[in-house]
Amino acid sequence: MRNLAAVPGVPMAKQLHIMQRAYSAITDNTGSSGGLFGLSFANPGAVTAVSFTLVGNSIGQVVCKNNPGIGVTDIGFTGSFFSTDATPTSSNDDVIATIDIDQNICCGGPRVVGFVEQNGTVLSWQVLGTVALKSINTLFLQWDQPHHQFIFQLNNDGQVFETYTVSDTSAPFYPYESLFIGRVVADCTSTPRPYSAVDADFRDVYVNQ
């Protein structure tokens, strides 16, 4: 579900409310399924910095006893910023940056993580801190192209810098930027059937445009 909802205690203000429950495949006990659901920016190529307030109202997970160790639920912002290929022909060379609140079967949470990836491989990442469910947090991400780095920040904590050495002069093959909720759920034949559930509110979204 995705809708505009009232902000508690703030007359006339609206927030983006997103919620989802996604279940596992039940054909075997190997691998996983996943995906994103949210709201995309209309002109992603023009956005190089974003700040938003995020409230994770609830996060629920059920793991698979026959396929343990797999399970991620996250909420935040993600986008492709450039391609490492001078003449890109696929999204495999697109570099993606994400800042989110995640709950991970392997590592706990909820915690705020900033990371950079390419073709499904995480190039660098940082845990910015832990947060409580229903707490109000401001997340910030910026692509600082002149210094070949991404900048991440949680609330008023110090900024965290993730540098890179690859070419960043080409536009991404598949440009997108989104506020999202996401999940990775283990495939499982046992019961209870694994799932990922999340309910979140996005407020006060600012971009550099």
pLDDT category, 145, cuts 50, 70, 90? very high
Does the domain at residues 16-207 carry the CATH identifier 2.60.120? yes
The stretch 21-38 carries a mean pLDDT of 94
The stretch 78-97 carries a mean pLDDT of 97
Distance CA 206, CA 146 (A): 21
The stretch 5-33 carries a mean pLDDT of 91
For the stretch 124-135, pLDDT in tens is 999 999 999 999
Instruction: Give all strands of the β-sheet with 49-62 in edge-to-edge order.
Output: 2-6, 14-23, 195-207, 49-62, 136-144, 149-154, 160-163
User: What was the pLDDT predicted at 72?
Assistant: 92
pLDDT category, 25, cuts 50, 70, 90? very high
Q: Which two tokens stand for residue 109?
A: 């949470």
User: What was the pLDDT predicted at 132?
Assistant: 97
User: What was the pLDDT predicted at 158?
Assistant: 97
Length of the chain: 209
Distance CA 31, CA 39 (A): 27
User: What was the pLDDT predicted at 209?
Assistant: 61
